[in-house]
């Protein structure tokens, strides 16, 4: 539970909060935003390549249609905000073909052709069901924590 030193008063059977919120940009304010969007309860995070400055993997409008679909469906299904799934729109994931491209963490699963029908399969199969959607898979590469990476280096020495 977060405490900002808020002052409460009862008026007309309602609780009203006075304007004692933390200063915008402060750590306390950022923590409040982070909690409100569900960072503290996130189980997965999907990044979608769209709204590119210089589109390469797909047309900009096509990527934005996918982004709007993803936001809407996660909200409809109660997965966004505090529902356990974070979403981020990124400028470019650098695959640069077969887009829109998406990646889901913590599994590190990369997907291609993420138009709305494919995103729906990813939402249902991966984000909800926990299974990779193999027919749209580019590759899987889970990121290792630093302590594990030093034990099992992915690079030749």
Residue-wise pLDDT for 77-101, tens only, equals 999 999 999 999 999 898 888 889 9
> How many angstroms from the chain centroid is the CA of residue 149?
24
Say how far apart CA 56 and CA 24 lie, in whole Å: 37
pTM of the model: 0.78
Model confidence band, residue 5 (pLDDT cutoffs 50, 70, 90): very low
Question: Could you tell me the two tokens for 107?
Answer: 């599994």
Say how far apart CA 88 and CA 50 lie, in whole Å: 10
Quick check: helix, strand or coil at residue 54? coil
**Rounded (10°) CA dihedral 128, 145, 97, 58:** 60
Confidence check: pLDDT of 67 > 80: yes
Say how far apart CA 54 and CA 52 lie, in whole Å: 5
- With CA atoms as reference, report the closest residue to 110 among 86, 138, 132: 138
Say how far apart CA 103 and CA 34 lie, in whole Å: 21
């Amino acid at each position: 539970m977060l405490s900002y030193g808020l002052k409460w008063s009862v008026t007309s059977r309602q609780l009203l909060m006075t304007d004692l919120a933390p200063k915008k940009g402060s750590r306390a304010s950022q923590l409040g935003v982070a909690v409100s969007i569900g960072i503290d309860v996130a189980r997965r995070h999907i990044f979608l390549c769209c709204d590119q400055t210089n589109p390469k993997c797909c047309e900009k409008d096509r990527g934005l249609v996918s982004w709007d679909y993803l936001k809407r469906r996660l909200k409809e299904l109660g997965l966004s905000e505090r529902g356990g799934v974070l979403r981020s729109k990124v400028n470019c994931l650098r695959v640069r073909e077969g887009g829109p491209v998406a990646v889901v963490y913590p599994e590190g699963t990369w997907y291609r052709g993420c138009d709305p029908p494919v995103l729906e399969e990813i939402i249902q199969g991966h984000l909800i069901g926990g299974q990779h959607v193999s027919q749209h898979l580019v590759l899987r590469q889970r990121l290792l924590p630093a302590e594990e990476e030093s034990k099992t280096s992915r690079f030749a020495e």
